[in-house]
Amino acid sequence: MRHSDIGTQDNARKSSGGIVVSERRSAKRWHTVLAAHIRSNSRSKSIECIVRDLSDTGARVYFADISEMPSEFELEIPSRGLRVRSRLMWNRGANHGVMFLEAVKAWTDPIRAAAA
């Protein structure tokens, strides 16, 4: 397993005032650095990106250079063996939040699975 495949769980975060607040997400989120790409419905071209956060319900992806992103697309993360239909939910500069349109087990870590 490569170091970039190892994620850390994000259960709580600090607010701007330094107060720790619980996440209200429906699924656990893992910080990652995973190479990925998206393909639009036309599949005419692939756009490379980096998955920075990953959960079973969605991801935060980073694009080094993108002018326009389709509203729905297929996200593929080769190192996780994952290909999933996704929808753009938000964007802040180069960072984009996507929601998965189908049920997936995006983060199956062999070490955590063996301990369960």
Q: Which amino acid is at 29?
A: R
| Residue 92 in tokens | 């802040």
At residue 24 the predicted structure's pLDDT band, cuts being 50, 70 and 90, is: low
Tokens of 47: 């756009």
- Give the pLDDT confidence of 30-48 residue by residue, as tens digits: 899 999 999 887 767 889 9
Is the pLDDT at 13 greater than 70, yes or no?
no
Q: Which amino acid is at 67?
A: S
* Residue in the structure block whose two tokens are 């969605």: 58
88's CB contacts (< 8 A; 6+ apart) are 69, 70, 71, 72, 73, 96, 97, 98
Question: From CA 103, how far away is CA 85, in angstroms rounded?
Answer: 10
